[in-house]
Structure 1
Amino acid sequence: MNQNNDKLTEQEGLNINADENLSGTEHLTDPVEETQLDALETELNESKDKYLRLAAEFDNFRRRTKKEREEFSQIANKDIVLALLEVLDDADRATPQIEASEDKKLKEGISLVFNKLRNLLQAKGLKVMEAKGADFDPDLHEAITEIPAPSEEFVGKIVDEVIKGYYLNDKIIRHAKVVVGK
């Protein structure tokens, strides 16, 4: 009987395996396969998104650490420069006394040392704050006292500078101590 069934299927052109394929068990356009493909695409997109976010986060981390290193080196310089500002102030106070001296070699030697100190600090980013004659700015200046202005144009302006203010790499490291006209 099996032989008769086999002959019938061959004569009619039926293939048992083809019937199984038509039933959907092995077909490529199977809806189960499409949902798996969609799931894989979703997973791929999520992986790409994670990768892009991780790359961006790493780039931000690299920039942030570079900036922190630069700021740290500037802070380290700041401590040294602040300590040397006292020496620079003493040099500025001593300069008029040295200029009054008659010993030319002494004047030359000391002015050479003072100029070398000033140039070294300028090379490290130190700038003198110009305050005398400028408008008083509490963000830049520290008012020690107020005096009557010698003329109307000096009202609210800096009449005298007691201690110079300084910038280090365009940041204030010491406020100028000034006398303001009222």
Structure 2
Amino acid sequence: MADEKNSNGNGKIPEKNGDRSQGKEPEAAMNNVVSKSEYEELKERVLRMAAEFDNYKKRSAADVANAKNVGKAEMLKRMLPVLDEFELAMISSAKSQDENLSKGVKMVYANLMDALKAEGLSELEPSGKYDPYTDEIIMAKETDKDPGTVLEVLKKGYKMNGILVRPASVIISKEPNGAQKDTGNKDGK
């Protein structure tokens, strides 16, 4: 049994870490010496890949957070009619003789709004000029105010963590029909 030859045919039993003899490097390792410039180039590539991977992780985390916010916004869209009805209930209960009913409806509405605000809900507060990104024009009235001024909010608008869930429904001002625009010509042409 001591004379058994292994698969390499030389009769030696190979070492686990390769066939090294007393501190000498194998020939293959000596032929693979890397120059300093090649080493620097490889080092730079590894650092670049590490930076790219870090950026990938950050983008992935941002994508996951954005997906969660979009999901919350979709859920809120389905709840908006409930919020609108709560606001109508508060108006109706304020006219009621029963103070406890009015207080109860206000408390439930306040608790619901607090919970939604903790998740990132914010109400849009249109004032001043009409903003096409957050407001929806329902009607335009002739007034002496500047055209495009928000006169009244018919339905509240909401954002969830920066995502527009519903634009505010507004009434804006417009120029009276009898008013003529100043074209800058003295002749009226």
- Name the TM-score, length of structure 1 as normaliser: 0.72
- Corresponding residue number in structure 2 for 1:171: 163
- Corresponding residue number in structure 2 for 1:53: 48
- Corresponding residue number in structure 1 for 2:152: 160
Aligned partner (choices 101, 109, 112) of residue 117 of structure 1: 112
Deviations 1:120-152 (A, max 9, x none): 111111111112x42111122111121112xx2
Deviations 1:36-93 (A, max 9, x none): 9996223212211221111111111111111111111111211122222211111112
Residue ranges of structure 1 left out of the alignment (5+ in a row) = 1-35
- Corresponding residue number in structure 2 for 1:148: 142
* Equivalent residues, number: 144
Aligned partner (choices 118, 132, 135) of residue 138 of structure 1: 132
Q: Match for 1:104: what amino acid?
A: E
Percentage identity across paired residues of the two chains: 28
Residues 1:129 and 2:132 aligned together: no
- Name the TM-score, length of structure 2 as normaliser: 0.69
Aligned partners of 1:96, 1:41: CA distance in 2, in Å?
A: 79
- Looking at CA atoms only, which structure, 1 or 2, has the larger radius of gyration? 1
Q: Tell me which protein shows more helix as a share of its residues.
A: 1
1:102, distance to aligned residue in structure 2 (A): 0.7
Are 2:122 and 2:159, in contact at CA under 8 Å, matched by a contact in 1? Answer: yes
- Corresponding residue number in structure 1 for 2:83: 88
CA RMSD, 1 decimal? 2.0
- Corresponding residue number in structure 2 for 1:78: 73
- Corresponding residue number in structure 2 for 1:41: 36
Aligned partners of 1:154, 1:162: CA distance in 2, in Å?
A: 20
Aligned partner (choices 104, 107, 114) of residue 102 of structure 2: 107
Deviations 1:3-50 (A, max 9, x none): xxxxxxxxxxxxxxxxxxxxxxxxxxxxxxxxx999622321221122
Aligned partners of 1:84, 1:58: CA distance in 2, in Å?
A: 39
Residue ranges of structure 2 left out of the alignment (5+ in a row) = 1-30, 175-189
